[in-house]
Structure 1
C-alpha cells in the first residue's frame, strides 16, 4: 500500500528473487518513460522501494504521482498472480 510521507508517495515491493524484482523494474521503467515521470527507487535483492513526487511542482505529490502509482500497482498485480 502506498503511503504519503515527506511530500512523497512511498511503497515497497517484495519478489521471489532478484530476477523477478529486476523484471518488475524494467516494466515500471517503460511506463514511467511513456508518462515522462520517473521514480526514485532502490533495489536490494528481492525488494524494490519506490518514491514518487513531482519535481516540476516543487517536489510534492500530484495527480501524476497517483497515476504512476496506479500503473505500478497494476504491474505488481500481474507479478503477484504468477
Structure 2
C-alpha cells in the first residue's frame, strides 16, 4: 500500500528472488518512460523500495505520482505482491 508522507508517495515491495524484483523494475521502467515520470528506487536482492514525487511541482505529490503509483500497483499484483 502506498503511503503519502513528507511530500512523497512510498511503498516497499518484496519478491521471491532478485530475478523477479528486477523483472518488476524493468516493467516499471517501461511505464515510467511512457508517462515521462520516473520513480526514485532502491533494490537489494528481492526488495524494491520506491518513492514518487514531482520535481517540477516543487517536490510535492501530484496527479502524476498517483497515476504512476496506480500503474505500479497493477504491475505488482501480477507478481502477487
**Pair in the same fold by TM > 0.5:** yes
Task: Indicate the TM-score class for this superposition, using the shorter chain for normalisation.
Answer: over 0.9
* Alpha-carbon distance in structure 1 between the residues aligned to 2:6 and 2:18: 28
Match of 1:66 in 2: 66
Task: Name the residue aligned to 1:45.
Answer: 45
Total equivalences in the alignment? 81
CA distance in 2, matches of 1:22, 1:49: 12
| SS of match in other structure, 1:77 | helix
Task: Indicate the RMSD between aligned Cα atoms, in angstroms.
Answer: 0.9
Shift of 1:11: 0.1
The structural deviation recorded for 1:5 is: 1.1
Is there any run of 5+ residues in structure 1 with no aligned partner, and where? none
* 1:4 matches 2:4: yes
Between the aligned partners of 1:78 and 1:15, the Cα distance in structure 2 is 11
Deviations 1:12-67 (A, max 9, x none): 00000000000000000000000000000000000000000000000000000000
Paired residue for 1:75?
75
Normalising by structure 1, report the TM-score: 0.97
Gaps of 5+ in 2: none
